[in-house]
Amino acid sequence: THWYLSLPLHLCSLASYVLTQIPSMSVALGQTVTITCAGDQLDDRYAHWYQQKRSQTPPELVIYKDKERPEVISDRFSGSSSNKVATLTISGVQAEDESDYYCLSFDDNTKTHNDLKR
C-alpha cells in the first residue's frame, strides 16, 4: 500500500517583487520532495521557509538564510539557493509533513519582504 502526501502551495506577491512556486505537490511517504521558489530578488536576498499545518498558528520556521535549520527542526529538512531559485528539500517524507509551505525573502536594508504562500 502506498500513501501519498499532498503539499498545497499558493502564490503571493508584495511590493514590486514576485516569488513563484507551483500550486501543489504529492509525494509518496518515505520519498524525497523538492519544493522550489523562484524570484529575481533571490539573487541578492536570503530565502526563508515556513511550515504551517492546518491546526497550527503561527507558521513554524523550518529553514532560514537559504540553508540554515533551527535546532528543533528535523534534519530531514534542508535548503539551498542558486541562480534566483530557492529550494526546500524534505527527505524521508512522513505523514506529519503534510502542510502549507511558505517561501519568504527579506531585505535587511529596507526591512521589506516578499512572500510566497504554500
CB 52 within 8 A of CB 100: yes
Phi/psi of residue 14, nearest 5 degrees = -135, 155
* Beta pairing partners, 85: 38, 82
Compute the distance between CA of residue 17 and CA of residue 73 in angstroms, rounded to an integer. 29
Q: What is the pLDDT of residue 53?
A: 87
pLDDT single digits (tens) 46-91: 999 999 988 777 889 999 999 999 999 999 999 999 999 999 999 9
pLDDT higher than threshold 80 for residue 14? no
pLDDT at 6: 53
What domains can be seen in the chain, in order of their start residue? Answer: 4-116 (2.60.40.10)
Query: Is 69:75 a contact under the CB 8 Å cutoff?
Result: yes
Model confidence over 91-104: pLDDT tens digits? 999 999 999 898 98
Confidence label for 12 from pLDDT (cuts 50, 70 and 90): very low
Percent share of the chain, pLDDT over 70 = 74
In the predicted model, is pLDDT for residue 10 greater than 60? no
pTM score > 0.85 for this model?
A: no
More confident residue, 72 or 44: 72
